[in-house]
């Protein structure tokens, strides 16, 4: 945690305004009675550590032609890291208002520093906007929601391939619903990061 906090400071990541109660270093849970998203299956937020992010960047090798999409981006640490790692565009999707404030502040600071767009959209992954799905080449999620939302997000990504044929790679940290991805005929599993980082990779079939 201390190393990650120091890395956050080096990247200039911080809380997003006085009303935000989450930083990239602090986990949060929804307030009692809160409903988030079409299926109300939000799983809360916890930041991805930098050791795993380094392994993920080595595996994905994001470049200027890549659009990195983080579903349930929390406070935006992964977006900011992947922008610094070379992704041409980084886009986050988030619904919790506290996380949104932090993520947008962090995204703006990172975009100014890297000169590459880093955006955070208030959107439900179960109703993923077509323009975001169609742009993505790399997709990340850290178990942010349940099976129902994940199923809808996968449908949206598959449909986007019909509109804009391209290769897609999905990275899923703590893949508790991996059976759903394994059952997608358009995806093939890649296990290279499971033992070292508990991240499953799935790549679209031609």
Token pair listed for 127 = 């109703």
CA distances from 53 to 96, 172, 180 (A): 23, 12, 24
Does residue 85 have a pLDDT over 80?
Answer: yes
Name the H helices within the chain.
Answer: 2-11, 50-60, 77-84, 97-114, 130-135, 147-163, 178-182, 194-197
Three-state SS for 61? coil
Does residue 30 have a pLDDT over 70?
Answer: no
Does residue 15 have a pLDDT over 80?
Answer: no
Listed range (6-10, 42-46, 201-205) with the worst mean pLDDT: 42-46
Which residue from 105, 78, 109 is spatially nearest to 92, judged by alpha carbons? 78
The pLDDT mean for the chain works out to: 89
CA distances from 172 to 2, 76, 169, 193 (A): 25, 16, 10, 10
Q: Write the CB contacts of 76 (distance below 8 Å, at least 6 apart in sequence).
A: 13, 24, 70, 92, 102, 103, 104, 106, 107, 110, 118, 120
């Amino acid at each position: 945690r201390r190393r990650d906090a120091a890395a956050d400071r080096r990247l200039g990541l911080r809380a997003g305004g006085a009303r935000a109660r989450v930083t990239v270093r602090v986990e949060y849970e929804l307030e009692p009675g809160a409903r988030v998203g079409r299926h109300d299956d939000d799983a809360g937020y916890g930041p991805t550590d930098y050791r795993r992010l380094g392994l993920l960047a080595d595996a994905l090798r994001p470049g200027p032609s890549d659009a990195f999409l983080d579903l349930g981006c929390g406070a935006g640490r992964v977006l900011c890291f992947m922008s610094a790692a070379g992704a041409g565009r980084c886009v986050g999707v988030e619904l919790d208002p506290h996380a949104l404030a932090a993520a947008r502040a962090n995204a703006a600071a990172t975009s100014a520093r890297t000169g590459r767009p880093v955006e955070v959209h208030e959107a439900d992954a179960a109703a993923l906007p077509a323009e975001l799905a169609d742009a993505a080449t790399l997709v990340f999620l850290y178990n942010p929601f349940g099976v129902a939302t994940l199923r809808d997000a996968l449908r949206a990504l598959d449909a986007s391939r019909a509109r804009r044929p391209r290769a897609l790679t999905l990275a899923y940290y703590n893949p508790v619903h991996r059976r759903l991805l394994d059952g997608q005929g358009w995806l093939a599993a890649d296990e290279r990061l499971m033992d070292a980082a508990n991240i499953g990779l799935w790549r679209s079939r031609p």
